[in-house]
Amino acid sequence: MNADSKFFRFCLLLVLVFPCSCSVESPDGAFKGEIRDWVHEVFAGTLTTEGMDCELVLTFRQTPEGMPAEMSFAQPGKTPVLRSGVWEVGDGERVLRFSDGKEPSEYFLIKRGVRFAFQTKEGISNEDGSPVLLMRNEGLSRKESYPLRISFLEDGKAKVVGGVSENSLFGDWKLASGKILVSVKSSGKMPVSADGIETGEEGHEETYRYFLSWSEGASDQLELEKIVVLRPFLKKDGSKRQSWMSSLIFKKQERPRLRKI
């Protein structure tokens, strides 16, 4: 076999194989399902200091008015000390902030397998140097379901109703790296970057990105893999700094399914 024949067969193999293995079917029409997310989470554990095992409880809530949080710290036999603040979600962590004038004013709850490490920028640990680990109290924590409808329109346009926003959001969709990416925008509040407290002013855009894929064995269903929210920070002088990102990633066995309607 000469070189020209080998080159021809190689090119033919590329044409036949790669489009079949890499192509993703484009969705059309509307798909409807629901998202289950935590609306009330309680994490509990102990922090050992000065020979005492102190009880530490964190409570995170999601409400239409915002995302309030509470921290309870109790030494044995004493009344718990309570602090109230706000929280937000990052990639693999929850950020807890307080504006009561006490320090530390910022804490992090970082996922470590089935447990969560409680941390600050300066560092916090038990008396023996081990990390402070909390567990989610499944009995006191609660999830709720939210309807979600995604419509794939002509010319790469998209419409999202429900999910992370109560309003109808419009944007675009495209195929990217074997996934279906829907990107829509909404006006939202801008947190002040210095202390994390929101200004309460509306008018700046938030970007919501939905990452989907076709369900195995179901040609009329899409699986929602994750939701990413991007929003800019606002400095105290009114200038915009950078984008802040949070994400909601679903385990494979818990991915919401959206059925074509």
What's the pTM value of the predicted model, to 2 decimals?
0.69
Encode pLDDT of 185-212 as tens digits.
986 554 443 344 444 444 457 889 999 9
CA distance 21 to 18: 5
Question: Which range, 6-10, 64-68, 209-213, has the best average confidence (pLDDT)?
Answer: 209-213
Tens-place pLDDT, residues 26-46? 999 999 999 988 899 999 999
With cut-offs at 50, 70 and 90, classify the pLDDT of residue 231: confident
Domains in the chain, CATH or no CATH each: 29-36+145-260 (2.40.128), 37-142 (2.40.128)
